[in-house]
Structure 1
Amino acid sequence: MVRQRELPILGRTPLSRPTPGAPSPPGGAPGIRAAAAPGPPGERSRNGGQALRVSRDGVEQRIAALEEYAAQVREADLRYQELQQIQRLAEGNDEALDLLARTAADALAVAEIEAMAKEAAIVAKTFSTALDRASAAAVIALPTRATA
């Protein structure tokens, strides 16, 4: 976070409005021309240099504040992109969950079919056993053609 400091000549911070009562020359920015107001030649150049330093400091503080703002905007943009990606994945996740549910249903169906196949094998074996016994009983009970 950029700290704003009070500028002694302007009576304000760089990003704030002028302090009531601060010098404000006609047709100029408050404080800037006042710092370079006419006076003895040595004092004028000192005041002019001080005004330039104050102006430069103000511009540097604005730049720092804008850079901080830009960094925060970039960070917010990254977070927004991550949120959108998560939302897209969540939407795709519904499709994946549906596929997984169908796959689980397939696995259950395969297990049921395998169980039914085992039962069918048992029934087929039972029928084979019954037919074998019936055939054996028929051989005993029925006369053969040669004896008839």
Structure 2
Amino acid sequence: MKNNIGAVVVHHKHYDTVGAVVSSLLGEGILAANVVVIDNSEEPEQLESLRASLVAGVTLIAVENKGYGAAVNLGVQTLAEARRFDYILVATHEVVIEKGAVAKLASALDNDPTVGGRWSRSNRGSRRQSADLVLRRKIRSGERDPTAS
């Protein structure tokens, strides 16, 4: 099941945390070929260093910063063009993925076909930073979204 999950990691000028997020996803059983990192930092001089911090097989795309949503959309589109996934996970560059979190999110979706997505939020430290890990059911072309009314 986890091999049929695609993952998008979006970051903006946080090169030191991206590799750890990707490693965590791989540790959860997601294949490197199923991970897309979107870098919207607009710092081309940092790209080679960022690429070196990622496991072979992970797709890295550097883009003009048009916002978080545009970066997520590009990552999802890139995954959809590569192959069909049951679920697409979206993570920010600062998320800390606890062991088993991806399986729990996938299980919640597997157990209720009317649910379109699940998310997990954690608040860490005194600055109350929050990071989201979102797993969304991929609606196939021509199918009705089971969460739509």
TM over 0.5: no
Please tell me the TM-score bracket, short chain as reference: under 0.3
| TM-score scaled by length of structure 2 | 0.20
Task: Select the structure of larger CA radius of gyration.
Answer: 1
> Using CA pairs below 8 Å that are at least 6 residues apart, which structure has the higher relative contact order?
2
Structure with a larger share of its residues in helix = 1
| TM-score scaled by length of structure 1 | 0.20
